[in-house]
Chain A
């Protein structure tokens, strides 16, 4: 099988995942999109490993071994991620990413130390 097929499939999967991460509002779907991106990468790893090891005498198949690692870590990651989403949902009643904006800059762009207050401090 030519390398182009898995590579194109992997690219399509990655783009799908990327679109999901950037465009979906539901946090669970965002996590699922992340999984799709990871699997695109896994596919690449396996395909290139096979393609590169065809000519080699001795090979460790490190690409395929790395894929196993990625799958394991992705499983752990999605577990934690889903737990966080669950906690957020219980806490706030929503898992809509657009509404989770706690790290946004506050309404007062000047902060507490305005020039007028500083002047009053200096002359006191």
Chain B
């Protein structure tokens, strides 16, 4: 088979798997699990084969036009360069892991068939985005991901949190997608084509008429999809979905799409200095803010959600300083360790029977119950905190190195200010990342108090996947940073000495600070009993998690926060802790700025409809009713009255005829 055929099969197989899974889910339940696992696995093999054949050489381009579509042609096009080939491998790899994990995680779930089919569809859409060489085809995958995330986040739609979260995820990403669509049209009109290669050619020859406008419009869609400030608020709430879905959304699909999109069209953004500075500021605010918010969260998954937002901030930061190699490098290593973090968190939630860190910190021996999750999560947290030699260190240092390079103004098309913004925010975030990673590890695994509940052995499918993902989390960065430039732009990704020392030093400082704070506060834990544990030892992990999410608000008064005096974040954040737990009240701001005006406008429309328009309608009905009442009054029921009226009428008519006939 040619490479093009293989590449077409990569997104097609999960799509066919999803279609078959949806059709056969009820009639042939035995086929559901193979149909869920095998297509992504085959895609992984094919994507790896495509990557090997592409080998970082010249991009593979293929296109066919199905039908003429008017002014600007839309073509089914493939554009596979080093970025696309490697990201596709990551997507297929994480999707396969998630599907295998889900067979154990949701083994008793009655809606598993549709769930597995949607995960496959999600994967297929992301692979389409990755391989597509045409912006409109890319948009199709982009939007299919949006609807899949809506369905999957709302998997436990019995709970109000999940319903609200799925709607929020859909609406917030759509809020970014509207400008994104307009931006794509503007780009296609300026370039005269939706083909990425031609668009880039036009940009290279300086043919864009409105680069800043287009870049900012596209940026809105990217901010929505990749959960960047100010459109990031859907991501922490999306934790109401099952844990494997979180792993999929955060590691491989959806949020990676935005970063990947900018990486593909980076020259378009580089054509506008203003867009690069906006991108840098957005990345900096996202990174620092999410780091603080992650430090205050009580829900283990929400900590990870905010950490995803922060790591995505690193990637957009790398793009803001014009180094897409570093961005995609961090995307790849982050994909591996973030998937691992989420899947391990799923095991921990199942074992502990709660998603609350405050409750876990009052449990003894949780790490002995789930040794696989303990060791793999430790590896992933070290990678997240960018401690050498774990893979996160190399990718994060490549970002910081690129930023440091840009501060000197040596990077083309990138203002020095953008470099400084990214560098300072990145170093600050390195400190915060290490702090919240340490806090999560200490609270989850170093708890003191009653024995952790026994939820039986974790399914083999779940624990094996953790170890599979631990390998790239441990070794990918160190092995790949020398060979990756050949796949990417050829820019060096080796960590520079200065940023490595600064970044690692700050990470160690953050970890030690948290450890010190924890030493002082953990003694308080025994004095303030806290925590609600869902006890369903026989239930599958999905059930335990759904219960844990549903009980968090009744038990602690807030979905994200627990009033725990033994939490080290109380010392570290001080008065900032409460607003940080609530995401700096950005949701309240949105409520005041958008939700209330929209509701007021809806109230006005309701008033106009009910009281103004309906009044006319009711009056139109009332007038005939009044006339009818007058006529009805003549209906006395007395036949003789009727006959009298008949006679009177006849006489009148006869007189009239006579008068007319005589000509009077």
Q: Does A103 contact B (CB under 8 A)?
A: yes
- Per the 8 Å Cβ criterion, residues 77-109 of A in contact with B are 97-98, 100-105, 109
Tell me whether A101 and B638 are in contact in the complex, defined as CB-CB below 8 angstroms, given that A18-B647, A21-B643, A22-B647 are known contacts.
yes
The complex places the Cα of A101 from the Cα of B639 at a distance, in Å, of: 8
The complex places the Cα of A98 from the Cα of B636 at a distance, in Å, of: 10
- Per the 8 Å Cβ criterion, residues 15-39 of A in contact with B are 18, 21-23
Among A98, A104, A105, max chain B CB count under 10 A is at: A105
Minimum distance in angstroms from B656 CB to a CB of chain A: 20
Contact B640 A104 (CB under 8 A): no
5 closest cross-chain pairs (CB), A and B:
A104-B637, A101-B637, A105-B635, A105-B632, A103-B637
Q: Does B629 contact A (CB under 8 A)?
A: yes
Contact A22 B633 (CB under 8 A): no
Minimum distance in angstroms from A23 CB to a CB of chain B: 8
Contact A109 B647 (CB under 8 A): no
Contact B635 A97 (CB under 8 A): no
The complex places the Cα of A64 from the Cα of B205 at a distance, in Å, of: 112
Is the interface on chain B under 10, 10 to 19, 20 to 34, or 35 or more residues?
Answer: 10 to 19
- Per the 8 Å Cβ criterion, residues 613-646 of B in contact with A are 614, 618, 622, 629, 632-633, 635-640, 643-644
**In the complex, how many residues of chain A place their beta carbon closer than 8 angstroms to a beta carbon of chain B?**
18
Residues of B within 8 A of A104 (CB): 635-638
Contact A22 B643 (CB under 8 A): yes
Minimum distance in angstroms from A81 CB to a CB of chain B: 13
Residues of B within 8 A of A112 (CB): none
Which of A21, A97, A115, A118 interacts with B638 by CB under 8 Å? A97
The complex places the Cα of A98 from the Cα of B644 at a distance, in Å, of: 14
Residues of A within 8 A of B638 (CB): 97-98, 101, 104
Contact A109 B632 (CB under 8 A): yes
Residues of A within 8 A of B633 (CB): 105, 109
Contact B618 A115 (CB under 8 A): yes
The complex places the Cα of A115 from the Cα of B640 at a distance, in Å, of: 35
Chain A: CB-nearest residue to B629? A109
Residues of B within 8 A of A118 (CB): 618
The complex places the Cα of A115 from the Cα of B635 at a distance, in Å, of: 24
Tell me whether A115 and B647 are in contact in the complex, defined as CB-CB below 8 angstroms, given that A22-B640, A102-B637, A104-B637 are known contacts.
no
Contact B639 A97 (CB under 8 A): yes
Chain B: CB-nearest residue to A103? B637
The complex places the Cα of A94 from the Cα of B179 at a distance, in Å, of: 85
- Per the 8 Å Cβ criterion, residues 643-663 of B in contact with A are 643-644, 647
Residues of A within 8 A of B632 (CB): 105, 109
Residues of A within 8 A of B637 (CB): 100-105
Minimum distance in angstroms from A22 CB to a CB of chain B: 5
Contact B640 A21 (CB under 8 A): yes
The complex places the Cα of A97 from the Cα of B644 at a distance, in Å, of: 14
Residues of B within 8 A of A22 (CB): 640, 643-644, 647
Which of A21, A103, A110 interacts with B635 by CB under 8 Å? A103
- Per the 8 Å Cβ criterion, residues 25-78 of A in contact with B are none
Minimum distance in angstroms from B607 CB to a CB of chain A: 13
Contact B647 A101 (CB under 8 A): no
Residues of B within 8 A of A100 (CB): 637, 639
Can you list 27 residue pairs at the A/B interface with Cβ under 8 Å?
A18-B647, A21-B643, A22-B640, A22-B643, A22-B644, A22-B647, A23-B640, A97-B638, A97-B639, A97-B640, A98-B638, A98-B640, A100-B637, A100-B639, A101-B637, A101-B638, A104-B635, A104-B636, A104-B638, A105-B632, A105-B633, A105-B635, A105-B637, A109-B632, A115-B618, A122-B610, A122-B614
Residues of A within 8 A of B640 (CB): 21-23, 97-98
Residues of B within 8 A of A103 (CB): 635, 637
Given A21-B643, A97-B638, A115-B622: 13 more A-B contacts, CB < 8 Å: A22-B643, A22-B647, A23-B640, A98-B638, A100-B637, A101-B636, A101-B638, A103-B637, A104-B636, A109-B629, A118-B618, A122-B610, A123-B610
The complex places the Cα of A123 from the Cα of B610 at a distance, in Å, of: 9
Residues of A within 8 A of B629 (CB): 109-110
Residues of B within 8 A of A97 (CB): 638-640
Residues of A within 8 A of B636 (CB): 101, 104-105
The complex places the Cα of A103 from the Cα of B647 at a distance, in Å, of: 20
- Per the 8 Å Cβ criterion, residues 591-616 of B in contact with A are 610, 614
Minimum distance in angstroms from A94 CB to a CB of chain B: 14
The complex places the Cα of A118 from the Cα of B618 at a distance, in Å, of: 10
Residues of A within 8 A of B618 (CB): 115, 118
The complex places the Cα of A23 from the Cα of B644 at a distance, in Å, of: 10
Minimum distance in angstroms from A119 CB to a CB of chain B: 9
Residues of B within 8 A of A123 (CB): 610
The complex places the Cα of A56 from the Cα of B629 at a distance, in Å, of: 57
Residues of A within 8 A of B639 (CB): 97, 100
Chain B: CB-nearest residue to A23? B640
The complex places the Cα of A110 from the Cα of B654 at a distance, in Å, of: 37
